Structure 1
Amino acid sequence: MNCTKFPMSITMFFFMFSLLFSCILIFVTIKGKVLNQSKKPALPPSPLSWPIVGNLPEVYMNKPAFKWIDGTVKKLKTNIACFRLGRVRVMVVVSPELAREFLQKHDSVFVSRPLTMATEYSSRGFLTMGVSPWGEQWKKMRRTVTHELLSPTRLRWLLDKRNEETDNLLYYVFKQCNNPDGSVINLRVPLQHYSVNVIRKMSFSRRFFGEGGENGGPGFEEKEHVDALHSVLHHMYAFWIADYVPWLRSLDIDGHEKIVRSSMGVFAKYHDPIIEERIKQYWRDGEKKEAEDLLDIMISLKDERGKPLLSIDEIKAQCNEFLFGVDGPPAGAEWALAEMINQPEILQKAIEEMDRVVGKHRLVQESDVPQLNYLKACAREAFRLHPHAPYNLPRVSLIDVEVAGYFIPKGSHILLSRIGLGHNPEVWEEPLKFKPERHLGENGSSKVELTEPNLRFITFSTGKRGCIGSSLGSLLTVMALARLVQGFTWSIPPDEEKIDLSTSDELILAKPLHARARPRLHESMYPLAP
């Protein structure tokens, strides 16, 4: 009897000892973690959040989400705020000093992109440069785009194609001026299609996919193409719940995935046949065909072994992505002209500069842009006051890091608020007023560029993930505005006191810019039918 109890006592003793030792080990481990965490700097200020889902309910219920987010940052009275969306922490920054900490001082840490449903579709599985996460694929495409496709040399090579489209913009607007006393013109249509036409011409050597429209305007195919483009852009970083709670993606709660899939189908319908036929021609003719556009360049690129550098899917994906950066120039030009028409003294200064630099006996060219300081100041002010998107393309932290005294965990998303930066009263005097002179310096002679390296507002971002096409975007914005200012006398439509500057939830003019136009050059100066 005693012999049977003894082993049980020994067993119980070891069991209790193991349990006690485990508890001590757990306690020490937890205490160590707490002590380690206590040594870390604090996270940025945060709003109250729900268990597990964080602030996703507020983001889902408040549309557009950026208004709730930026409003919350203001309520917290902070220059940086941390929002928890599912398991992802999203940092929103509204001061230039902090923006420079993230995108300049710690640029190599915040060099990746988040994986979202819309960017996955738009890049054919992250094959492109702009939206791909940090890695070898991104490095490859960045080298290719920077050195082979959008280099200064390549942009000069494509000048004639851009000139054709600036001529077509002028021709189209001129043909709308049927009334000698001036005609009211919807400028959103020609401006949006001008930017896309330039990319089509540079990529595919064509303006239209079909017959085109009257007087050089868009036809059905081009309108469908541009509508699909804006649909994808609207959904690209849209705070879609499934991007933060991946298991919800199969449910497609808001129908976003269906919309993006359909829109990318439009791109495939118009782009793929051109690309595939061009590749077949290249295989047939080899090196004999002289390159005419970016598509030819992409097809002809070789790696160190003499094999094609880019796959067919990479070519198709990058052709798509070239179009995703063209929403800024037309929006900037539309906003700038609307503000200038409402303030005729500003418009008159731009006209006087145009007549002084270019005159009325030739059309303004890209080579004139460096001298059009005041006009560039108008475009720059439009980008500051009226950003075309609420945030820059998000960055993702590769590691845990301390920034400006705050703890930024690995995997955090970093968003710079375009409105928060551009409207910051600590940076800008009268931030809600359109004042181009603020960009000319104290003596009014500072050289004006559309880029803003100090991040007091955002045009084309900066750093390793900054926009490679910033010079092209600047040219498209300024040339569109320059041709319209040189070519026409603009005024408010009859029976209206002012151009309505109300802003839509997409941050464009709530109503397309309708303005009265009258030709101000001799008829012989306007381009002939394209």
Structure 2
Amino acid sequence: MWSSMWDASSVSALREALTIFLIIMAPVSFWFLWTWNKHLRNPKQAPLPPGPHGVPLLGYLPFLGTNLHHQFTDLSRVYGPIYKLQLGTKLGIVVSSPSLVKEVVRDQDTIFAYRDLTVAARILSYGGSDIVFGTYGSDWRRMRKMLVSQMLSKTNLDGCYALRKEEVVKSISHIFIGTPIDLGKFAFSTTINIIMRMLWGGTLQGEERSDDVGSEFRKVVEEMVELLEKPNISDFFPALSRFDLQGIGSRAKKLLSVMENIFDSAIEAQMNKAQNERVPENEEKGFLQFLLENNNDQDSATSLTLQQMKALLMDIVVGGTDTTAITVEWTMSELLQNPDEMKKVQEELTEIVGMNNLVEDFHLPKLRYLDAVIKETSRLHPAATLLPPRCPGQSTTVGGYHIPKGSRVFLNVWSIHRDPSVWDNPLEFRPGRFLNTDPNNSFDYLGNKFQYLPFGSGRRICAGIPLAERMLICVLASLLHSFEWRLPEDTKVDLSDRFGFVTTKLTPLIAIPTARLSE
């Protein structure tokens, strides 16, 4: 959402925009006076949460650092598990305890099921026509149901297995023994290739055509994620959005136009193929073919507009690539930092898969230790350290404090996952904590235990969990089963992170593979 990297260049750009903003301070001053007088007129209302003081007009914006999840955690030690930050004309509420998170995502889930979109998010989501950023309501529920229960059903994911396997094997074959590899870039390239094959199926024929589209696709997705991360003064002072002071709106429109051309080309090719060719019954179907086939009947309760279909495809692309790739990189980082744990994973792979076989889909549910390693990595390094902010559709109360309608509520998952009052030795990498066979004490990704929320919880939980699980464990199992890994000489694993739409490693992970299998 409007969370950002806040790197040096982004902060500099934001400050330049703030300078321009000061010219327009009069209406903002009026807004502050109106808000304050409104609060005074209702003295019986519950108090707002505590929080640090900012400066007039700008609030706490000038004091934000580069790593918001660290800074928000430090502030919670001063102001408690729920506090407020005035950020321009927007009020931010930060929540960092499991009990208060439960109030938001379970007890009052419907109230907090809305979004307050940034300029970039609104444009790239077709005006909030998707699931990630879309407005909660009947259309949103219908789209989500189609994605979760149909597109990403077990049957459909099983049917796409051959497409996923082909891309993983192709990527593995491009790894050269003894040559250092940037595992983050490798994971991103592999993941987006998998996503593309699952989107189009066999629609884009020809190696040259596929490579051309893939290259353009990767570039656009990277730029979209970058744009979603940039701080934009218009997101803190919506009255300025018409001026597009930083050019973020115009850039988002250009990127959307490029992605639209790719989608339109694939849709046209798929429709022509369906009309002019006899499609074999056993041909692997992509998500696009599924969407088009399910929209032939316009009277169906599940039919979607063309814009909604594109928005769904965009969710899968943007939501399924960067998050999966960075979790692969973090997992490999932790295993290289903890060689004993890597040895346990590879021993399990030897036992389940065998040294003469490649990893197959039917092996994955049996890889319990690798599953525990991924869950522990997601605890220490959740892809979204501050889950996409929720926005209450009406004023309410959380933890005894007043939460105004329209405020932005951040759930600091990074802080909760490292809280010593919740986790035993929380800073240690201990996958064994996720091997508990007692169902009452076991953890999954479904957000039912509020001390562990790597994919969120409630109505706004990530809709792509089934796909993410399969891609994560498949890519990691293939990397760890096919190769031994070591760091270049005189290097160490750097576990420092960098805040953004997806929280990445500050230093890319470079590792050297050696052959592990006989072939």
Q: Is the 8 A contact 1:122 1:321 kept in 2?
A: no
Alignment partners' CA distance in 1, 2:424 and 2:413: 17
CA separation of 1:477 and 1:46: change in aligned 2, threshold 3 A: same
Instruction: Compute the TM-score of the two structures, normalised by the length of structure 1.
Output: 0.81
CA separation of 1:51 and 1:272: change in aligned 2, threshold 3 A: same
Bigger drift between 252-261 and 277-286 goes to 277-286
The residue type equivalent to 1:477 in the other structure is L
Q: Is the 8 A contact 2:160 2:198 kept in 1?
A: yes
Alignment partners' CA distance in 1, 2:276 and 2:231: 46
Q: Give SS of 1:359's match.
A: coil
- The CA deviation string for residues 350-384 of structure 1, in whole angstroms up to 9 with x for no partner, is 11111122221222223222221111111111111
What displacement does 1:442 show?
Answer: 8.9
Is 2:339 the partner of 1:344? yes
The residue type equivalent to 2:77 in the other structure is K
Alignment partners' CA distance in 1, 2:439 and 2:132: 36
Alignment partners' CA distance in 2, 1:107 and 1:422: 21
Alignment partners' CA distance in 2, 1:450 and 1:102: 18
Instruction: Compute the TM-score of the two structures, normalised by the length of structure 2.
Output: 0.83
The residue type equivalent to 1:378 in the other structure is V
Structure 1's unaligned 5+ residue stretches are 1-31, 524-530
CA separation of 1:81 and 1:226: change in aligned 2, threshold 3 A: farther
Partner residue, 1:521: 517
CA separation of 1:346 and 1:86: change in aligned 2, threshold 3 A: same
Partner residue, 1:44: 49
Structural mapping, 1:187-226, within 5 Å: 187-205=183-201, 211=207, 221-226=213-218
Q: Give SS of 1:38's match.
A: coil
The residue type equivalent to 2:60 in the other structure is N
What displacement does 1:207 show?
Answer: 10
Is 2:136 the partner of 1:134? yes
CA separation of 1:189 and 1:63: change in aligned 2, threshold 3 A: closer
Structural mapping, 1:358-373, within 5 Å: 358-373=353-368
Q: Is the 8 A contact 1:376 1:449 kept in 2?
A: no
Equivalent in 137, 159, 162 of residue 160 of structure 1:
162
Alignment partners' CA distance in 2, 1:337 and 1:306: 45
Alignment partners' CA distance in 2, 1:442 and 1:151: 26
Is 2:66 the partner of 1:74? no
Partner residue, 1:11: none
Equivalent in 274, 277, 283 of residue 269 of structure 2:
277
Amino-acid identity (%):
27
What displacement does 1:269 show?
Answer: 3.6
Q: Give SS of 2:514's match.
A: strand
Is 2:251 the partner of 1:255? no
Is 2:310 the partner of 1:300? no
Q: Give SS of 1:37's match.
A: coil
Alignment partners' CA distance in 2, 1:153 and 1:270: 27
Structural mapping, 1:463-502, within 5 Å: 463-493=458-488, 495-502=489-496
The residue type equivalent to 2:237 in the other structure is V
Give 1 or 2 for the bigger CA radius of gyration. Answer: 1
- The CA deviation string for residues 228-282 of structure 1, in whole angstroms up to 9 with x for no partner, is 2233224336553212322212333333224333333332343321123333555
Equivalent in 318, 321, 337 of residue 315 of structure 2:
321
Q: Give SS of 1:402's match.
A: strand
CA separation of 1:448 and 1:414: change in aligned 2, threshold 3 A: closer
If asked which structure has higher relative contact order (CA below 8 Å, sep 6+), I would say 2
Q: Is the 8 A contact 2:395 2:402 kept in 1?
A: yes
Structure 2's unaligned 5+ residue stretches are 1-36
The residue type equivalent to 1:188 in the other structure is G
**Cα-Cα RMSD:** 3.2
The residue type equivalent to 1:194 in the other structure is T
Alignment partners' CA distance in 2, 1:388 and 1:251: 32
Structural mapping, 1:407-486, within 5 Å: 407-441=402-436, 449-486=444-481
